[in-house]
Structures are given as structure tokens and as C-alpha cells.
């Protein structure tokens, strides 16, 4: 047996050596992991990938209640962070886990409607009602936790892009930039308008962006990526939350649906927000309400008094009353509404009315709804329908009133009286002049449209160019302002507002120039003439 061992070993070597050589020469048939290649991965990797170029910018979209953050080139933000008592808890405070997923339905004692929402918002439109020092501390904590828990990168090493509304107050904008520049060493910060980025995310150069936000609803006309005009109203999600809180407070009062509602709220904010996001809806039109009420059904929701253990039955139509009352105000006449409390259809109509005809025709066919209120079922369809009714009723004339209606009625009566047929019989015509019974008389009200030979020639020459849609009400879907900023930043184009650290720490917002005679250089974000270190606030000026 000992003499056979060497021969067996020799035979094994001779049999395995050729197979190893052949396996190295041939490609494996089974799936395998390729060898790592040198170089950096592109910046347009998926959000779940851990490979990222260090030059990629970090995008923050900051609103009154939420902060969204992520890297450029991604289709969605990496995280969404809210501002509220849960995010302001200290170490060892476990009340967020003790109360459950939807929170405590009933508060220990009723609170005022304004105080009920104050703890869940970062800022207010009126800077006189906010503590700027507290806002700076909240911003610092939110940015620090976002970098350490979600982005997993050092703050200040990458470019920072902020997506903000153009109607942001200057004291609040100054506090935001001062906090970021003083706590971290960002070399520069780029500001992008949320309305323009929403249009970009929809694939549009011009649009009417209707942002149904927390504190207010804004309608911004964008033409060739520039904001032309902006109108706003105080009818927003904040007032919808307060109205729904009052409704749920009435339901929590011993289950009485018709309980008298006061200006105090006794249900939890998180519970009310859950009800709004899941069950709030919008009716189509007032003439359809009767048919909807006849076939109304009840819906079982967690009881406002004890949502963790009990349920209560609510008519489905009652969950639409708050939306109808806050955003459309059907019981209030138009002339009784202030300029800052117009309904959503009037806001859209007045914004289109203030535009030039060619710009109006482009924007009205590209209406983009964004914000938390845009997710309410049936809301966008009703807004477009009521705007269409306003156009049919008033046209595009801003002049209205009872005197104008009387004048139009008199002109209509005069036109009808002049066109009345004569009672005297007409003389009979000869057989040669008698018209055929098959031919219909011409309608003088219908005029033959003029033929534009120049336009026809251009269309024949450019047959492949699509004709843009104009003059009709149409809605276009958008991925939101964060996705638009991610797309814009990934193109490596510097924004119009590029704020450098040294200049801001030295002069603050006062260092921004207001001279708009010089055309800015889009490649560098600076002005083409004079001192290249000057910068402008553009839409935030």
C-alpha cells in the first residue's frame, strides 16, 4: 500500500493540472462577482447605493413643518425630518413610544387652536410672532441629526443647496444662513426657488405652480424658469387641521355628532393629522352634494376619546365638510373675502388674470399642484372645474359689478330688439330666385376665420415640431421641488443665488447687490461685469 501512494499522487497531479489550466483560460459559465475597477462611481447611483462621489452636492428642502435631505442625482430624498415635540425630546424621554403609533387621542385639558399647532411648526410667515433664537436652535439640531443619522457624512465637506420658497421673510432667511455658516464651514450655499424646481420636476419651462402648503397657499407663474408673479392666500393645511380638530373635539364629546364646537381643541395633534391624511376628501360640486348625501355611508374610525381601544361611526360626508369650508368657502360671497383670504379657485383665476395673454395661455395649460394639500382626493379636479366656471362667467376682464351687469343686460336687449323679424309678409320670389329647400340659410353670427398664410407655411416647413398646447385648463404631474433641485444640481449648473461664506459673514444679507442691469453669468452664478465677488438674492430680494 505504501508503494502505491506515490503513483496515486502522481496520477492526481497529472489529472488536475490540465483542468486548472483550462479553467483559467475559459470564462466561467456561472454568475460571479467581477473585479473592482479603478475610478469613482458616477453621481447618478441609486439612493440605496453606498458609493457616492465626494463632489456631489447635498440638497435640503426646508418648509414650515418638514425638512427633506438627500444627495444630488437621486429621485427621492434620503430622509424626511419633522419639527415637533417628538423631535425636541431630551435624552431619556420615552413618551413617543409609550403613547402608541397615533398618539394620545384626548389632551389633559383643551387648548387654543393657535397654541395647538404652534409646537409643530418651525416658523411663521409673520416674523414678529416667532423667536428667531429658538428657530436657529431647531435648525441646528435638525441639520446635525440629519447628517449623523441619515446622510452619514461630515457637514461642510460637500456643496449645500437649499430649496426655499421665494416669499420667505428676510429675518428668517438671515437666521437660517447665519446658523449654517457659523456652526459649519460650508464654503458656499446655493438657493433655489421651490416653485421653479417644481416646474422643472414636471419637465416644464413654464407653468402655474399651486403650492397648498402649511401656512399659506401660493400660486406662482413660472415663464422660462423665471417667477413672473406670485399671489397667496391664508387658506392652507394649517387651518384645515384646526377645523378638523374642532370637528373631532365635537365627536369626542360623549359621541354627540352635533355637539357645540368652541374655539378649544381637546384631541391630540398626531391623531388629527392621521385622520386628515387618511380620511379627508373633497366634494365635486355643490349641485352634487344632495345626491351624495342621499347615498351617504358611515365610516368607523378610532374614537377621538380613546383611539387605541374604541371606534366611532362618522358619516363619510362629514369628513369633507372641513375641506369644503376652509379651502372653498361656499357660504361666503366673493366680495366679502379679503385679498389675503381668497378661495383656491379665485387664487388661481386671479393669478392667471394678472398675466399677459400669451403667458396666460401657456401657464393655464400647465398647472402643477404641489404641497400637502395636493394629496387630498378630489381637490385638484374641483379647483380646475371651478376655475373653468369663473372663466365662462367673467371671461378675462377684471371689471365686474352690478352696474356692469345692468349695462350688459341692456346691450343684450338692444341687440335682440334690432334682430327681431318683421311681421309684414315678404313678396313672393320667382321660381328662378327661389332657394332650394335642401340648402340652409347662412348664419351671420358665424364668421369665417382668417387664414394665416405665414403660419401655414411655417407648419409645412416644420412638420416634425409639435404644436404646444395653449389656452386650455390642464393639470401636469410633478415629482416635487426636491426632485427638481436634484435634477438641476446634477447638471453641475450653479444657481443664480450663490452665497459665499466670507462675504455673508462680513456683510450679511446687506452684501447682496440690487443692481439688475448686468446680466448674470449662468456658468459661474456671478455677474458678468464689475466685481466678481458680488452676488444677488434674485427672487428673495
Task: Convert the pLDDT of each residue in 286-333 to its tens digit.
Answer: 645 555 555 578 989 998 888 888 899 999 999 999 999 999 999 998
Q: Residues 354, 342: contact at Cβ < 8 Å?
A: no
218, β-bridge pairs:
211, 232
Closest CA to 344 of 232, 452, 253: 232
Instruction: Say what the pLDDT of residue 44 is.
Output: 42
Q: Exposed e or buried b for every residue in 324-346, given b needs 16+ CB within 10 A?
A: bbbbbbeeeeeeeeeeeebbbbb
State the pLDDT at residue 5. Answer: 43
- What predicted TM-score, i.e. pTM, was given to this entire model? 0.78
Residue 51: the pLDDT is: 52
Band of pLDDT at residue 496, cut at 50, 70 and 90: confident
Give the model confidence (pLDDT) of 205-229 as tens digits.
999 999 999 999 999 999 999 999 9
CA dihedral 135, 137, 143, 146 (to 10 degrees): -110
Phi first, then psi: what are they for 392, rounded to 5°?
Answer: -65, -30
> What are 270's three cell numbers?
398626531
More confident residue, 371 or 6: 371
- Residue 408, CA distances (Å) to 242, 349, 403, 404, 446 in order: 43, 22, 9, 6, 21
Average pLDDT over residues 102-107: 62
Residue that has been written with the C-alpha cell 460571479 in this structure? 32
Give mean pLDDT, residues 80-98: 76
Read off the pLDDT of each residue in 421-437 and give the average, rounded to a whole number.
51
Q: What is the average pLDDT value for the chain, to the nearest integer? A: 79
Output the CATH code of domain 203-235+334-399+470-477: 3.30.420.40
Q: Which residue has the cell 368657502?
A: 329
Cell numbers describing residue 479: 415629482
Stronger pLDDT, 159 or 421, i.e. the higher one: 159
Q: Is CATH 3.40.50.300 the right assignment for the domain spanning 53-83+120-197+479-541?
A: no
Spatial neighbors of 516 by CB under 8 A, at least 6 apart, are: 536
Q: pLDDT-based confidence at 449, cuts 50/70/90?
A: low
pLDDT of residue 174: 93
**Higher-confidence residue: 103 or 492?**
492
* Bridge partners, 311 (sequence order): 302
Q: How confident is the model at residue 484 (pLDDT cuts 50, 70, 90)?
A: very high
Per-residue pLDDT at 424 exceeds 90: no
Average pLDDT score over residue span 249-259: 65
**How many CA atoms lie within 13 Å of 322's alpha carbon, on the beta-carbon side?**
24
* Pick from 38-47, 107-116, 123-132, 500-509: least confident: 38-47
**Predicted pLDDT at 65:** 93
What pLDDT shows up at residue 285? 72
Report CA-CA distances (Å) from 90 to 64, 93, 179.
22, 6, 21
Which pLDDT score is estimated for 231?
A: 96
Closest CA to 139 of 87, 94, 72: 87
| Common-topology check for domains 53-83+120-197+479-541 and 203-235+334-399+470-477 | yes
Domain positions in the chain: 53-83+120-197+479-541, 203-235+334-399+470-477
CB 59 within 8 A of CB 70: yes
Looking at residues 54-75, what average pLDDT do you find?
A: 92
Residue 486, H or E segment: helix 481-490
Amino acid at each position: 500500500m505504501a508503494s502505491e501512494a506515490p503513483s496515486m499522487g502522481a496520477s492526481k497531479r497529472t489529472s488536475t493540472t490540465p483542468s486548472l489550466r483550462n479553467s483559467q483560460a475559459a470564462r466561467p459559465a456561472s454568475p460571479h462577482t467581477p473585479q473592482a475597477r479603478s475610478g469613482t462611481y458616477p453621481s447618478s447611483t441609486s439612493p440605496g447605493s453606498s458609493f457616492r462621489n465626494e463632489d456631489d452636492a447635498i440638497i435640503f428642502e426646508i418648509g414650515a413643518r418638514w425638512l427633506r435631505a438627500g444627495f444630488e442625482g437621486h429621485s427621492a430624498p434620503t430622509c424626511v425630518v419633522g419639527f415637533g415635540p417628538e423631535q425636541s425630546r431630551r435624552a431619556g424621554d420615552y413618551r413617543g413610544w409609550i403613547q402608541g403609533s397615533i398618539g394620545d387621542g384626548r389632551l389633559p385639558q383643551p387648548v387654543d387652536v393657535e397654541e395647538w399647532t404652534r409646537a409643530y411648526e418651525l416658523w411663521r410667515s409673520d416674523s414678529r410672532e416667532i423667536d428667531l433664537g429658538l428657530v436657529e436652535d431647531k435648525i441646528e439640531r435638525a441639520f446635525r441629526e440629519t447628517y449623523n443619522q441619515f446622510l452619514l457624512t461630515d457637514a461642510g465637506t460637500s456643496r449645500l443647496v437649499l430649496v426655499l420658497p421665494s416669499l420667505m421673510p428676510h429675518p428668517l432667511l438671515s437666521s437660517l444662513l447665519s446658523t449654517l455658516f457659523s456652526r459649519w464651514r460650508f464654503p458656499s450655499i446655493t438657493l433655489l426657488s421651490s416653485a421653479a424646481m417644481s416646474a422643472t420636476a414636471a419637465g416644464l419651462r413654464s407653468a402655474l405652480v399651486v403650492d397648498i402648503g402649511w401656512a399659506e397657499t401660493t400660486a406662482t407663474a413660472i415663464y422660462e424658469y423665471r417667477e413672473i408673479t406670485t399671489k397667496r392666500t391664508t387658506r392652507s393645511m394649517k387651518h384645515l387641521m384646526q377645523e378638523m380638530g374642532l370637528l373631532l373635539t365635537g365627536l369626542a364629546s360623549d359621541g354627540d355628532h352635533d355637539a357645540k364646537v368652541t374655539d378649544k381643541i381637546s384631541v391630540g395633534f398626531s391623531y388629527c393629522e392621521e385622520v386628515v391624511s387618511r380620511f379627508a376628501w373633497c366634494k365635486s360640486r355643490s349641485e352634487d352634494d344632495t345626491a351624495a348625501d342621499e347615498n351617504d355611508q358611515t365610516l368607523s374610525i378610532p374614537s377621538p376619546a380613546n383611539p387605541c381601544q374604541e371606534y366611532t361611526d362618522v358619516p363619510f360626508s362629514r369628513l369633507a365638510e372641513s375641506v369644503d369650508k376652509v379651502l372653498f368657502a361656499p357660504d361666503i360671497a366673493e366680495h366679502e373675502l379679503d385679498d389675503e383670504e381668497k378661495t383656491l379657485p379665485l387664487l388661481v383665476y386671479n393669478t392667471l388674470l394678472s398675466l399677459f395673454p400669451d403667458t396666460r395661455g401657456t401657464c393655464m395649460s400647465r398647472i402643477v399642484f404641489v404641497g400637502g394639500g395636493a394629496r387630498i382626493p378630489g381637490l385638484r379636479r374641483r379647483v380646475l372645474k371651478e376655475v373653468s366656471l369663473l372663466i365662462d362667467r367673467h371671461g378675462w376682464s377684471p371689471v365686474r359689478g352690478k352696474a356692469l351687469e345692468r349695462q350688459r343686460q341692456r346691450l343684450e336687449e338692444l341687440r335682440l330688439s334690432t334682430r327681431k323679424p318683421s311681421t309684414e309678409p315678404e313678396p313672393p320670389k320667382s321660381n328662378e330666385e327661389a332657394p332650394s329647400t335642401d340648402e340652409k340659410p347662412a348664419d351671420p353670427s358665424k364668421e369665417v376665420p382668417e387664414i394665416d398664410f405665414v403660419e401655414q407655411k411655417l407648419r409645412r416647413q416644420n412638420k416634425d415640431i409639435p404644436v404646444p398646447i395653449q389656452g386650455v385648463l390642464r393639470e401636469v404631474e410633478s415629482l416635487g421641488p426636491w426632485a427638481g433641485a436634484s435634477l438641476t444640481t446634477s447638471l453641475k449648473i450653479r444657481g443664480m443665488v450663490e452665497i459665499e461664506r466670507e462675504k455673508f459673514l462680513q456683510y450679511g444679507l446687506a452684501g447682496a447687490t440690487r443692481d439688475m442691469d448686468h446680466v448674470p453669468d449662468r456658468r459661474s452664478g456671478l455677474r458678468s461685469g464689475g466685481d466678481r465677488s458680488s452676488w444677488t438674492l434674485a427672487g428673495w430680494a
